[in-house]
Amino acid sequence: MKVTVVGAGAVGASCAEYIAIKDFASEVVLIDIKEGFAEGKAMDLMQTASLNGFDTRIVGVTNDYAKTAGSDVAVITSGIPRKPGMTREELIGTNANIVKSVVEQLVKYSPNVIVIVVSNPMDTMAYLVHKATNLPKNHIIGMGGALDSARFKYRLAEALNSPISDVDGMVIAAHSDSGMLPLTRLASYRGVPVTEFLSADRLNQVAEDTKVGGATLTKLLGTSAWYAPGAAVSALVQAIACDQKKLFPCSVLLEGEYGEKDVCVGVPVIVGRDGVEKIVEVKLNDAEKAKFAESTAAVREVNKALAG
């Protein structure tokens, strides 16, 4: 399994590190536009191999896409992150140009690649990858819900004062502060609905803290987070590499599912060797349906900027 990670910055390097530590890929190519930067990150990571016990070969290159040829999976993290007070949507101008040029290079050398889109605004960037390539829709995966769901579980465990492994929950819809939809009704603690343990007010607080999860970290760090985003990407790459057929909420092209068409937005999907192997239609109640529709409408508004 050969994996390319475009962008050797905070998220790209973190995801390369987690992929290497889990030792399921033969090669990770880190590529960046900044001269020598990916080479440096790759060398530093390779010098952890004997300490962390992995055999994955990490190679760093500056802008030479020939070195990415034959990649099974490519992760796009290139672009600017947000600063405190910014929304993900404000990044569109710069990042759309970067993502378009990057994906065109990637498919030139790896025509059958599975692309995982991370750069923000992620749902719109995933849609852009559909428009800019002829890749089949199951080969384009936007990473947002996997991260948002991990943050949701963190907040649930905190509210229940329980280990994280005792809770389950998922976040669907847009990967934006206002668009995220944490499915509190379906969240569980040791297999029992959390609604049995937490008041409606407390659960609402959990949902609100989840939605601003990225913004909270951006305020603390001065830039956006990288450990959990890197781990979320590596979990998706592992699900593909090891054909795990695991369920993650991901931003994928909808063609009638959840009542939506011609838009990429977060829904639960099964991820395996062929990328998105199935879109899972969870039965939403009326309030959830309305929020999902509102969230998707906001993504469509952002997508309009791509036309210009």
Residue numbers annotated as active site: 175
Residues 131 to 150 in contact with ligand NAI, rule: CB under 6 A: 143-144, 147
Nearer to ligand NAI, 98 or 186 (CB): 98
Q: Note whether 10 binds ligand NAI by CB under 6 A.
A: yes
Cβ 198 to ligand NAI shortest distance, Å: 26
- Of 9 and 182, which CB lies nearer to ligand NAI in the complex structure? 9
Spatial distance between the Cα atoms of 175 and 171, rounded to a whole number of angstroms: 9
- Strands 246-255 and 192-193 come out as unpaired
Among 4, 5, 12, 123, binds ligand NAI (CB under 6 A): 12
Give the integer Cα–Cα distance in Å for 134 and 71: 16
Q: Which of 3, 5, 11, 129 binds ligand NAI (CB under 6 A)?
A: 11
For residue 42, give every residue at least 6 positions away whose Cβ sits within 8 Å of its Cβ, in sequence order, or none. 8, 16, 30, 58, 59, 60
How many residues in the shown chain lie near ligand NAI by CB under 6 A?
35
Does 8 sit near ligand NAI (CB under 6 A)?
yes
Residue 27 β-bridge partners: 2, 57
Tokens of 191: 């297999």
Among 17, 32, 72, 123, binds ligand NAI (CB under 6 A): 32
Site for ligand NAI in 106-125 (CB under 6 A): 118-120, 122
Kindly give the residue spans of alpha helices, DSSP state H, lying in the chain: 10-22, 37-46, 49-52, 92-109, 122-132, 145-160, 200-211, 213-221, 227-241, 286-307
Regarding 209 and contact with ligand NAI (CB under 6 A), the answer is no
Rounded-to-integer distance, Cα 284 and Cα 185, Å: 10
Determine, following the binding rule CB under 6 A, whether residue 78 of this chain makes contact with ligand NAI: yes
Q: Does 182 bind ligand NAI (CB under 6 A)?
A: no
In the bound state with ligand NAI, the residue whose beta carbon lies nearer, of 119 and 194, is: 119
Question: Contact between 249 and ligand NAI (CB under 6 A)?
Answer: no
Closer Cβ to ligand NAI, 92 or 279, answer by number: 92
Q: Which two tokens stand for residue 102?
A: 């990057």
User: Using the rule CB under 6 A, which residue among 42, 58, 68, 81 binds ligand NAI?
Assistant: 81
Residue nearest to ligand NAI (CB): 9
Q: Of the candidates 179, 126, 124, 127, which has an alpha carbon nearest to the alpha carbon of residue 148?
A: 179
Pairing of strands 73-76, 192-193: unpaired
The answer to the question of residue 252 lying near ligand NAI (CB under 6 A) is no
Shortest separation between residue 77's beta carbon and ligand NAI, angstroms:
4
Is 82 an interacting residue with respect to ligand NAI (CB under 6 A)? yes
Residue-wise DSSP of 252-304: EEEESGGG-EEEEEEEEEEEETTEEEEE------HHHHHHHHHHHHHHHHHHH
Closest-CA residue to 295 (of 120, 122, 177, 118): 177
Structural contact between residues 276 and 252, judged by C-beta atoms closer than 8 angstroms: yes
Least Å distance, CB 87 to ligand NAI, is 10
- Identity at 141, one-letter amino acid code: I
Q: Is 33 in the site for ligand NAI (CB under 6 A)?
A: yes
Q: Applying CB under 6 A, which residues contact ligand NAI?
A: 6-12, 32-34, 37, 77-82, 91, 95, 98, 101-102, 118-120, 122, 143-144, 147, 175, 223-226, 229
